[in-house]
Structure 1
C-alpha cells in the first residue's frame, strides 16, 4: 500500500462537483485501485501541512482555478514543503497549477499564455528526454490527454528538463532532478469530467473565442465534439507511483 499525500489546491465549479466530483476524487478514482491510500490536505483553505513528508511514499498537488501569478502565503508554504519532500527523496508530482508552482519554486516564471486558453482533449508530444523518462514508460510519443489552463511556465526554469510539449504550450511536462515531475495537462481527468469542465465555463469560453475573432456559438460545440479517451493519463499516474516510489 502506497501512502500518497494529495495537496488540494482549489475547488472545481459547483456544477462540476455535482456531476463528476471534485479534483481529489479524480486522483483517488484513478490510483486507489492500484494500491494507493490517500491523505488529502485542503491547502488552499489553510489546512496545515505535515511537519515533513517522510511518512509518505509520494506527494501530489492538484490543479486549481487560482493562479501562481497571484501568489498567496499558502502557495509559498506548499512550494517549500514540496521542495523539502524531494530533498528527502520523496517523489513529488505537480499537475497544472501544481506544475506551475513547482516551476516557480525553482526560479521559473508563470505567465498568461499568449496563445490563449487550452482546454479539451489535446495532443502532446514527448521530447527525446521524455521518451526516456520513467513517467512516460509505455506512453506513445504522441498521445491524447485532457487539458485546461490559461497560465504557462515560460521560459524553461534553470535546471529543468522539458519532457513534453505541443503548439500551445512548449512545457507540457518538466523534470526537476530525479524526484520532481510536473505536468501542465491533467492525467487524472477523463472525457466525462472534461465535458463538465467545458460546460461549466461555456459562457467564458464563448467570450474568449469571439474576442479572438471566432464566430459566436462555434467554440463550445467544437470542444465537446473533440473530446476523446485519454488512457495515457492513467498510465502516467500509475508510472509515477510505480517507478518513482
Structure 2
C-alpha cells in the first residue's frame, strides 16, 4: 500500500551546490534562503543532487525548486546532466518547476536551450530587471511592476532559449533574465532568495576578483538595495503550487 499523500503540498528543493564558506557561516546556505522565502504552508524537502542524493520521481512532488550553484552547466557534470533529464521529465509531467540562476540555466539546457559563459563576463550586484509584454499574462509575473531591482551574480547565461519558451524579462546586460516553458515551468537568472545583506556579503567576498575584472566593487556595494518584487516570486510560486493542490 502506498503512503498517504501529505496534507500539505510537497515541494522539493534541489540543492545544486553551496555558497562561500564565510557566507554560509554567517547567513546559512542556499536551501535556508529558499525555505525562508517559500510559504510555510508547503511541506519542503531538500535533496542535494550535487552530492548524489535521489529526488525520486518528479510525480512524487507538487512543486520543484532548483537552487543556484558555483558549478557551470556547460561542464556537464554527471549529476547535473542527470538532474537536467529529471527536470525535462518533470516538465513533461506538468509538475511546477522554478529554477534560479544555475537552476534557470539547467532548466533551459534540459529543454534544448544553450548555456555558456556570457560574452561580456560577470553580472553581479543589484540590477534592474525589465519585464517583456508577455509577462502581463504570466501567472507568476503579471502583478509585478514593469521594472524592478533584483539581486544577481553569475558568469554563465542562457545564450539561447529552448524552442517554444516565452521570454518574460531582461536586463541591460542579460537578455534572458526570466522565461516560462509550457504552463508551469519558470527560470529566473536573478536570485529572489537573496536578501540585500546576502548580496552585500557576496560582493565583499568577490571584491578582489571584481577588481581584476575591471569592475568597481565599492560602487556595486553602494548600489545594493532591497528587491521585494523579485523576492515575491517565491511566494507567488508557493501560491501557484497551493492552488493546484487545492
TM-score (norm. length: structure 1) = 0.92
**Coordinate RMSD, CA, aligned:** 1.3
Residues 147-179 of structure 1, C-alpha deviation per residue, up to 9 Å, x if partnerless? Answer: 110111112321111000011110000111112
Task: Give the number of aligned pairs.
Answer: 235
The 5-angstrom pairing of residues 30-69 of structure 1 reads: 30-33=37-40, 35-50=41-56, 52-69=57-74
The 5-angstrom pairing of residues 129-144 of structure 1 reads: 129-144=134-149
Q: Contact 2:126–2:223 (CA<8 Å) still a contact in 1?
A: yes
Task: Give 1:85's aligned residue.
Answer: 90
TM-score (norm. length: structure 2) = 0.92
Gaps of 5+ in 2: 1-7
Task: Give 1:15's aligned residue.
Answer: 22
Q: Contact 1:49–1:78 (CA<8 Å) still a contact in 2?
A: no
The 5-angstrom pairing of residues 75-224 of structure 1 reads: 75-209=80-214, 219-224=216-221
Q: Contact 1:20–1:196 (CA<8 Å) still a contact in 2?
A: no
Write the distance in 2 (CA, Å) between the matches of 1:234 and 1:187. 4
SS at match of 2:161: coil
- Deviation of 1:234 after TM superposition, in Å, equals 2.6
Write the distance in 1 (CA, Å) between the matches of 2:142 and 2:18. 30
Q: Contact 1:4–1:39 (CA<8 Å) still a contact in 2?
A: yes
Write the distance in 1 (CA, Å) between the matches of 2:90 and 2:79. 16
Write the distance in 2 (CA, Å) between the matches of 1:105 and 1:28. 25
